[in-house]
């Protein structure tokens, strides 16, 4: 389970393509859900990855790095792109005592906070911990006849410096930086977009067994996290047994955290209606009961209106052969995360729910 995206999410690899999403209301009407899934796997997109603190860590391609590097001075380029080191006691940020954030000079990713800066006496800016461990990449470095641990920016892979294990408490680490690899933003200063966390949005879908829906949505580009849970019932904090019995009134549901710059709510709706059969009342294939009902829990009025309009359009199309859509659309209520063993079930156990034909 990629629980709380902002605390434990590591690297999430997603394969898929956007092209199919955009043609679902047109030419692709003939394609059933199975072909959607196949097409999603056919087109490999650049690996997406996000940090626990909500930053986009998707590696930058060579072209983008070259474009950004045009803003570097010769010294900065030598240090960041050619693994150089600035002379000690010469860097501009060595004695900086301001409160704020230190970002990667090339790509803007926040790397360190001023709170973790300390005077190491080495002549290079030193920190005892990174802004987010996922923002720093560590590599074994045997250059110069020494064995050291090089540190790079996780997003643009630029050289930053090295990390040593002779730092102060609480980590005992000393991140030794080149000033030239950093840019400092004082607290309160406006950060550029590349230095800000993603504006993450949430959506909720119930379409039968949550193992399958969660697994399929995990593969959609732009979906950062999918969590299985229970929603739409009366009993507070239900467990699986209560939901299974049908007495709690909840549906097996999936909560999505997504990057609206990568995938829109409309596109999520398109996937949802490919991932399950919205014409089956209180069941999906062999799974029968109100807990397997088709439902959308709208996070706000915009989603509510968009979901209703989408269903209306889909009902009017030929795709479902005139069968009536029974999907319930309602305002979101409490979402209760399912037990740990339900999370990432397909990823852990293999297989995938059968998709409707």
Q: Which of the residues are catalytic?
A: 176, 209
Helix intervals (H) in the chain: 19-22, 33-42, 62-69, 74-81, 210-218, 240-245, 265-275, 301-316, 345-349
Tokens of 183: 């840019």
**CA 146 and chain centroid, separation:** 37
Q: Which is nearer to Zn ion, 68 or 256 (CB)?
A: 68
Binding site for Zn ion (CB under 5 A): 104, 106-107, 109, 153, 155-156
Shortest spacing between CB 46 and Zn ion, in angstroms: 16
- Give the separation between CA 322 and CA 131, rounded to whole angstroms: 54
**Cβ partners under 8 Å of residue 196, min gap 6:** none
Shortest spacing between CB 156 and Zn ion, in angstroms: 3
Q: Which is nearer to Zn ion, 35 or 83 (CB)?
A: 83
| 216: phi then psi, degrees, rounded to nearest 5 | -70, -45
Tokens of 193: 């977009």
Q: Which is nearer to Zn ion, 116 or 156 (CB)?
A: 156
Shortest spacing between CB 65 and Zn ion, in angstroms: 9
Is the distance from CB of 307 to CB of 313 less than 8 angstroms? Answer: no
In this structure, how many other beta carbons lie within 10 angstroms of the beta carbon of residue 172? Answer: 11
Shortest spacing between CB 130 and Zn ion, in angstroms: 13
- Give the separation between CA 61 and CA 24, rounded to whole angstroms: 29
Q: Which is nearer to Zn ion, 76 or 270 (CB)?
A: 76
Shortest spacing between CB 136 and Zn ion, in angstroms: 10
- Give the separation between CA 3 and CA 227, rounded to whole angstroms: 7
- Give the separation between CA 244 and CA 314, rounded to whole angstroms: 30
- Give the separation between CA 171 and CA 210, rounded to whole angstroms: 40
SS3 187: coil
Shortest spacing between CB 154 and Zn ion, in angstroms: 8
Q: Which is nearer to Zn ion, 113 or 346 (CB)?
A: 113
- Give the separation between CA 27 and CA 23, rounded to whole angstroms: 6
Is the distance from CB of 263 to CB of 220 less than 8 angstroms? Answer: yes
Is the distance from CB of 258 to CB of 223 less than 8 angstroms? Answer: yes
């Amino acid at each position: 389970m990629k629980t709380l995206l902002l605390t434990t999410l590591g690297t999430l690899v997603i394969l898929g393509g956007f092209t199919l999403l955009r043609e679902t209301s047109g030419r692709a009407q003939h394609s059933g859900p199975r072909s959607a899934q196949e097409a999603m796997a056919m087109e490999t997109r650049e690996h997406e990855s996000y940090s626990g603190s909500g930053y986009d860590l998707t590696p930058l391609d060579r072209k983008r790095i070259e474009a950004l590097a045009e803003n570097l001075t010769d010294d900065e380029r030598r240090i960041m792109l050619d693994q150089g080191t600035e002379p000690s006691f010469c860097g501009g940020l060595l004695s900086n005592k301001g409160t704020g954030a230190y970002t990667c000079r090339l790509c803007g990713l926040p790397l360190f906070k001023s709170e973790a800066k300390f005077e190491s006496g080495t002549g290079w800016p030193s920190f005892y911990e990174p802004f987010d461990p996922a923002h720093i990449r560590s590599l074994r470095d045997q250059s110069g006849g020494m064995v050291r641990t090089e540190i790079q920016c996780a997003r643009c892979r630029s050289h930053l410096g090295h990390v040593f294990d002779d730092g102060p408490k609480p980590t005992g680490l000393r991140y030794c930086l080149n000033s030239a690899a950093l840019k400092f933003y004082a607290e309160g200063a406006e950060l550029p977009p590349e230095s800000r966390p993603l504006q993450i949005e949430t959506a909720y879908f119930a379409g039968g067994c949550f193992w399958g829906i969660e697994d399929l949505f995990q593969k959609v580009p732009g979906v950062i996290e999918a969590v299985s849970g229970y929603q739409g019932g009366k009993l507070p904090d239900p467990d699986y047994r209560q939901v299974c019995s049908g007495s709690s009134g909840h549906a097996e549901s999936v909560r999505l955290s997504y990057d609206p710059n990568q995938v829109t709510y409309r596109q999520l709706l398109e996937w949802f209606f490919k991932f399950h059969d919205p014409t089956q009342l209180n069941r999906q294939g062999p799974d029968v009961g109100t807990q397997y009902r088709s439902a959308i829990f709208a996070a706000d009025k915009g989603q509510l209106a968009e979901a209703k309009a989408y269903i209306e359009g889909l009902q009017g199309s030929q795709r479902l052969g005139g069968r009536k859509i029974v999907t319930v659309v309602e305002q979101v209520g409490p979402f209760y995360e399912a037990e740990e063993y339900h999370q990432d079930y397909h990823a852990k156990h293999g297989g995938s729910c059968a998709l409707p034909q």
